[in-house]
Amino acid sequence: MEAFRGRSILQFAAAFAGGGPDPVEAAEQALQAIDGCTDRSVFTVTTPLRANEEAAASAARHRDGRPLSLLDGVPVAWKDLFDLKGEVTRAGSVVLDEGPAAQDAALVTRLAEAGAVTIGKVNMTEFAYSGLGLNPHYGTPINPWSRDEPRVPGGSSSGSGVAVALGLVPIAIGSDTGGSVRIPAAYNGVIGFKPSSGRWPMAGGFPLSLTLDTAGVLCRTVVDAVIVDAAARGLVVPDLRRGRIAGLRLVVPTNVVWNGMEPDVAQNFEAALERLAAAGATIVRRPLPVLDAIVALNASHGPLAAVDAYRLHKDRLASDAANRMDRRVVKRLLSGRAIGPAAEQEIRATRTRLIDETLSLFDGQTLVAFPTIPHVAPPIAELEADDDLFVATNTKTLRNTLLGNFLDWCGLSIPSGFDHQGLPTACLLSGGPGFDDDLLATGLAAEALIRGPVASPL
């Protein structure tokens, strides 16, 4: 039962190649672990028939010595906004029911072509519109690092983060509009990779913002992220080499990202920087005015995601469906109504200008680094009881990660240790648009240095 629990993609691949448990047993173990999980809010649906069929085909390929890729036979879970053929895509809501999907989302097809075995769909914030992961319809997955009281899983890819942290699946695919992959990765102590826009296909994924949405992966190691990235781009094997810390330049902003930072989060980040510097990295601390510009633009005009989200849900918000939606999501969606055409035009023009201005930061050996989130996972109960606290906490949770979405930076969240309560903290490395290979290559070399002591909630 526990042969694959908490294992990485490479460990699955080694077991299959070495004549150990095969993909059929791996799929059976994953489904049994999900069925036996006490938290019934992690998965919204499992797909045993599909999983068994795909696993049997994978096992046959392994017996013949012709696996499709390192992903062949590895279980994967999907955030419930990606279409799976024959399943209803609900996007964390009870008002979205257009019948079973006629075909898989493009990204599902890519990973299936690499041999990945779809196990089912995982929970999420309704319509992907929160960084905390609460869901009144399907329940809120509990952060597995909770000790004193149940804590948030992070969102909106809440089930993705918890499923990987619990070892139910080695990889889960989420989406990231303002941090929805990197935040649950950070809160749950796993790896989270968000590519630049356009690197992974988004067709067949229910959108939040057609401007800012990207897909992403939550997994156990940076190597896992590299393997999934290759499959998502239609490659049989990854096409990058491990980077070097010697010669790496890390720009650490001294503005915006540190406001309200918890001491333990800052301490773990600084310890990681010290280890990286000792290995040859150059740490450059300076303000990045572009970050202040984004904060000011959001304050004066409103967030770009709100414009896109309101446009998408406008008719739904004017119907009876709004009464059956999460009140907090409704409030955020309605905020986009106040952003008029002139303000939207200014937001989009400013975004283009700021993206261009930051391109000079990145030269193949330079990344931006700061804590993924300024605080550890907060308790669920107090957020459920106080909507004002929910809004304030959600805003703070999203603050650091959404900067990268606005600038189309790729991002890699790596666990950086634990606070005094035993809750995970994380470091976010970011590269410019299209610098994904440099980011992942550096992540391969930096992961062990950033992680520090390793622990597991299992």
Residues forming the active site: 79, 156, 180
Beta bridge partner(s), residue 284: 251
Q: Running DSSP on this structure, what letter comes out for residue 42?
A: S
**Residue 88 burial by Cβ neighbours in a 10 Å radius (0-12, 13-18, 19+):** middle
| H, E, C per residue of 369-386 | EEECCCCCCCEHHHHHHC
Token pair of 277 as six digits = 């510097």
CB 224 within 8 A of CB 425: no
Both structure tokens of 265: 């989060």
Burial, 262: exposed, middle or buried (Cβ in 10 Å; 0-12, 13-18, 19+)?
middle
Alpha-carbon span 119 to 399, nearest angstrom: 33
Q: Among candidates 401, 405, 402, 422, which has minimal Cα distance to 413?
A: 401
Q: Using CA atoms, how far apart are residues 12 and 75, in angstroms rounded to an integer? A: 9
Query: Closest Cα to residue 332, out of 256, 398, 379?
Result: 398
Residues 406, 354: contact at Cβ < 8 Å?
Answer: yes
- In degrees, rounded to 5, the angle at the alpha carbon of residue 215 between the alpha carbons of residues 100 and 270 is 145
Structure tokens at 441: 């290559």
Under a CB-based contact definition with an 8 Å cutoff, are residues 122 and 79 in contact?
Answer: yes
Q: Is the peptide bond before 156 cis (omega within 30 degrees of 0)?
A: yes
Exposure string over 328-341, b if 16+ CB within 10 A, otherwise e: bbbebbbbbeebee
In the sheet that 424-431 helps form, which strands lie side by side, from edge to edge?
43-46, 117-122, 75-79, 171-176, 214-219, 191-194, 410-418, 424-431, 366-371, 249-253, 282-286
Output phi, psi for 93, to 5 deg: -120, 165
Q: Which two tokens stand for residue 342?
A: 């002139």
User: Residue 431 forms beta bridges with which residues?
Assistant: 410
Contact between 243 and 444 under an 8 Å Cβ cutoff? The reply is yes
